[in-house]
Amino acid sequence: MTAAKTGEKLSLKKEHRARTLFVIFNGCFLTAFMAAMLLPLLKVFVDSVDPSSAGIRLWPKQWSFSAYHMILTKSTLYRPFFVSVFTTIIGCGTGLILTTLGAYVIIQKNMPGRRMMTSLILFTMLFNGGLIPTYLTVRNLGLMNNLLAVIIPCSLNAYNIILMKSFFATIPQSLFEAAELDGCSPMNIFTKIVLPLSKPALASIGLFIAVKLWNEYMHFILYITDPKWKNFQVKIRDLILNDGISGATSTLSMSQEMLKSAVVIVVVFPFLLIYPFVQKYFTKGVTVGAVKG
């Protein structure tokens, strides 16, 4: 009996030691991984506020926010920024409305043609019209140089509809039946029961749509030819090619590299600020909606 207890204690000690080593290794690995992601961003931030920054420096010798001041005051910079903000906000709202309504329709078991509609949505995930037919359609609809040519295609995605449908399917059917017995219309059920229970899915899909719209580049190149309606991503391209802001950095307190670094920080910062607040909803929405269909 004593030998058995001794063996059990040794086994527990080994298990504890192995667990401790795993925790230490895991902590070191995640710390190194986080540093690999944060150090380049810190370097870019230092370059954006230090006019004398050269080489690899993780702390500025002198501070200057002239690049950020120029982004907020020069129309060739702040106008593309507000175009990106506008398309992201409007497109995200539009996308959530269309996605939730589309998903709610195809979960109605008594709706005629539900299976065919679902099949057509899935079909678009495998096949699409291609670049030239899409461009001709946008031009024939008179949407050239119109932000709707960017907002509409980027807002609605078949994958998001299927993901939202899968999440709606996890809501107990008894809730729908009880609401119908109480006299709720389908739209009242949607607004008062389905949407309040769908915060995780709304957060995850909303983040998908917002990131896509914020980083959108190709649609602005194809459909927007007027420079005043270009977004911030296109302006970054102009900066990299050194033809976007002639004379913008002629002052002694700011270099072209300083302005480029400030623009990168401005592009990344909004989602660095937003993501921690929606992370729990985002993770839950993706896992629940993806596993249960």
> Domains of the chain: which residue ranges?
1-63, 66-291
The distance in angstroms from the start CA to the end CA of the chain is 53
- Region of poorest pLDDT, from 35-39, 55-59, 98-102: 55-59
Between residues 196 and 256, the one the model is more confident about: 196
| Averaged pLDDT score across all residues of the chain | 79
For the ranges 49-63, 247-261, 273-287, the one whose mean pLDDT is highest: 49-63
Chain-centre distance for alpha carbon 134: 24
pLDDT bucket at 249, cuts 50 / 70 / 90: very low
Is residue 55 over pLDDT 70? no
The confidence score (pLDDT) of residue 7 equals 59
Residue 86 banded pLDDT, cuts 50, 70, 90: very high
Residue 54 confidence (pLDDT): 62
- Give pLDDT tens digits for 56-66: 777 777 777 77
pLDDT above 90 as % of the chain: 5
pLDDT at 251: 44
SS3 of residue 156 by DSSP: coil
Give the residue ranges of DSSP H helices in the chain: 2-49, 66-73, 75-106, 114-126, 131-140, 148-155, 158-169, 173-181, 186-189, 199-214, 218-223, 232-240, 256-291
Check residue 283 and give its pLDDT.
Answer: 63
The two tokens of residue 51 are 């006019």
Q: Tell which CATH classification among 1.10.3720.10, 1.10.10.10, 3.40.50.300, 1.10.40.50 matches the domain 66-291.
A: 1.10.3720.10
User: Region 122-140: what's the mean pLDDT?
Assistant: 84
pLDDT (0 to 100) of residue 5: 60
Stretch among 20-24, 157-161, 217-221, 242-246 having the lowest mean pLDDT: 242-246
Of the listed ranges 65-74, 168-177, 196-205, 228-237, the one predicted with least confidence: 65-74
Polymer length of the chain = 293
Top pLDDT among 247 and 159 is at 159
Cα separation, 144 vs 134, whole angstroms: 12
Task: Output the pLDDT for position 255.
Answer: 65
Q: How far apart are alpha carbons 119 and 117 in whole angstroms? A: 5
